[in-house]
Amino acid sequence: MKELSVAKVYARSFLELGDEKKINIADEMIKLTEVINKSNDLENVLFLEVFTLEEKKNIFLEVAKKISLSQLSVEAITYLIDEKRIGLLPLIIKEIVVIDDERKGFIKGTIEGNAAQMDEALKAKIINFLKKKIGREPNLEYIQNTKISAGFKVTVEDLQLDASLDNQLEQFKQSILSE
């Protein structure tokens, strides 16, 4: 929990510095994440304690040069390496993306259902309903959940809509038992 709080502080700070210098930190951090995810060796160098701070910095600087990261991003990541906080980078990047999406008016959520794929027309209806309800455009990802008999569960931030058959049967059961 403490790490998440620290990551949020770093994320806000990096974004504010990026705003001041008119640099899109979120895009740069996404680009860096993609490069790290493609290379186990780079991930190992950055996040394992067996490498020295100098080795981590040297490798990172080479990667930063190749992917054309701004000086601000380079300094931010170098600072994390120097402070032995580089292990927080994935959490920081996640928070940067979340904050950036909120600024742009997007929110992320999930739709859970039993089917392997979701009907796009139904997904569009759910998105339109949520857009009217919360006033922002949700970016929804479909996840298959075999524990749901039929219907859907939609979760967006702290809002949960449960239109599953299981939930309806449970509500019916509770209404009968309470009489």
pTM, whole model, 2 decimals? 0.62
Measured between alpha carbons, how far is 21 from 24 in angstroms, rounded to an integer?
9
Residues 7 and 94 in one domain: yes
pLDDT at 49 > cutoff 80: yes
| pLDDT at 6 (0 to 100) | 84
Identify whether the C-beta of residue 42 lies closer than 8 Å to the C-beta of residue 103.
Answer: no
Same domain for 95 and 109? no
- Above 70 in pLDDT, residue 110? yes
Domain ranges, residue 39: 2-102
Q: What is residue 28's predicted lDDT score, i.e. its pLDDT?
A: 84
The answer to whether residue 43 scores a pLDDT higher than 80 is yes
Residues 109 and 163 in one domain: yes
CATH number at residue 29: 1.10.520.20
Residues 74 and 7 in one domain: yes
Are residues 41 and 111 both part of a single domain?
no
3 state SS of 62: helix
**Residue where a domain terminates, one of 102, 129, 152:** 102
Assign 1 a pLDDT band (cuts: 50, 70, 90). Answer: low
End-to-end CA distance of the chain: 43
pLDDT mean over 26-55: 84
| Span of 32-36, 75-79, 125-129, 137-141 with lowest mean pLDDT | 137-141
Q: Are residues 88 and 119 in the same domain?
A: no
Q: Which of 63, 80, 102 is the last residue of a domain?
A: 102
How many domains does the chain fold into? 2
Which pLDDT does position 94 carry in this prediction?
87
Which residues are within 8 A (CB) of 150 and not within 5 positions of it... i.e. 6 or more apart? 114, 164, 165
Rounded average pLDDT over 163-171: 77
Q: Among 102, 117, 136, give the residue marking a domain's end.
A: 102
What mean pLDDT value characterizes the chain? 82
111 and 172 belong to one structural domain: yes
- Whether residue 8 is found in the same domain as residue 96: yes
Same structural domain, 38 and 66: yes
Asked if residue 41 and residue 64 are part of one domain, the reply reads yes
Q: What CATH number is attached to the domain comprising 118?
A: 3.40.30
Share above pLDDT 90 across residues of the chain, in percent, rounded to a whole number: 0
Q: Identify whether residues 91 and 122 lie together within a single domain.
A: no
What was the pLDDT predicted at 51?
Answer: 83
Residue of 25, 168, 138 lying closest to 92 (CA atoms): 25
Question: Predicted confidence band at 63 (pLDDT cuts at 50, 70, 90)?
Answer: confident
Question: What gap in Å lies between CA 33 and CA 49, rounded to an integer?
Answer: 19
Whether residues 73 and 110 fall in one domain: no
